[in-house]
Amino acid sequence: MSRNIYGNIVSTSHPYWDYSEENDDCCVGLRYTSKVDVNSLKIKQASLRIFDFFSTFNQLCGLIMVILIGFFYGNIDGSYYWKDINSTTLTPDQERAYLNLHGLAVIVGLVFFHGEGLLINRHYRHEPRLIFKVYQVIFNLVALACGGFALAAFVVFSNKQTDYQYYSFQFWLLLGVLAIYVIVSFVYLFVFTFPRLPKKYRQIIRPYVNAMNLITFVLASVYSILSNALYINKYVNKQSSNICQNDGDCVTNFEYVMNFGLVATVLYSIIVVVQVSKPSWSRKVKNI
């Protein structure tokens, strides 16, 4: 038994030991010894309402981000076709298909799924640990797979350019993000999953690992925003005509699609950082 934030003695194994339903004005938990501090209760409930609002708005921004940026790269010249990487007869548009795939993989994997992996223990605050652990593993694996694919597509594209080789800042930033992400994922796997270190060591390591994971997400978001902005500047703004795949159906001012996608990316990233950084929104009962 333990005393929760309202001063009531409850079992820490109870999934709602730190939480009160809105209609529960008298007591919290399995057993109680005192009245609930109504002011504290209202503050707690208001905080959770803000969390719900952020979660809804965050999911909306994430979907808009993926849809708009995916639409942009899918309709720009080159689209999503994976051409023969050994071919020497590819046109510039066909070569840019690798860059389009790279942009899609980054936004879907390293930004969206990575962000959802960070938020999963916020969304599943009181469910059994197995649920959010399974989702977290799935999201992280998808994010890593997309990141690896994005790096491969970027390397293929770079090999076909004479002025876009490995000294580019984008390449090294992406490589650094993936390296940190892989290290953090392995630490999560071998330190917190199997074989686990003793609990006292896990408690010491966990804040640093969580911080590195959040830093990786921020760097991935910065990379996505930077690379998409550079794409617009290099391939869209300097064109005298529309460069959609089907010119007859090309959207007027096509770069605005990406611009709104970038705005959604910025909002999504900021909200993820806010939700992850607020301690009261984290999972309270956690056997790390």
- Among 258, 273, 275, 271, CA closest to 107: 258
Report how far residue 143's alpha carbon sits from residue 111's, in angstroms, rounded to the nearest whole number. Answer: 8
Count Cα neighbours of 198 within 13 Å in the Cβ-side half-sphere. 2
pLDDT recorded at residue 219: 92
pLDDT at 260 over 60: yes
Q: Which two tokens stand for residue 277?
A: 């950084």
Reported as a single tens digit per residue, the pLDDT across 25-58 is: 344 444 444 455 566 666 666 667 788 888 889 9
Residue 6 pLDDT greater than 60, yes or no: no
Question: CATH classification of 104-281 is 1.10.10.10, yes or no?
Answer: no
Higher local confidence (pLDDT), 242 or 33 = 242
pLDDT at 137 over 70: yes
Helical spans, DSSP H, in the chain: 38-75, 92-105, 114-123, 129-159, 169-187, 199-231, 255-277
Output the pLDDT for position 52: 80
Lowest mean pLDDT among 21-30, 104-113, 181-190, 195-204: 21-30
21 pLDDT more than 50: no
Say if residue 80's pLDDT is above 90: no
Judged against a pLDDT cut of 80, whether residue 154 lies above it is answered with: yes
Report, as an integer, the average pLDDT of 161-172. 67
| % of the chain exceeding 70 in pLDDT | 65
Q: Which of 2-11, 12-21, 91-100 has the highest mean pLDDT?
A: 91-100
Give the contacts of 72 (CB within 8 A, at least 6 positions apart): 254, 257, 258, 261
Highest mean pLDDT range out of 122-131, 159-168, 183-192, 269-278? 269-278
Band (272; pLDDT cuts 50, 70, 90):
very high
Range name among 73-82, 134-143, 205-214, 266-275 with the lowest pLDDT average: 73-82
Is the pLDDT at 133 greater than 80? The verdict is no
Give residue limits of the domains in the chain: 104-281
pLDDT for the residue 3: 55
Indicate the Cα dihedral angle 220, 221, 225, 227, nearest 10°: 10
Maximum average pLDDT range among 1-10, 28-37, 262-271, 274-283 = 262-271
Q: Which of 1-5, 157-161, 229-233 has the highest mean pLDDT?
A: 229-233
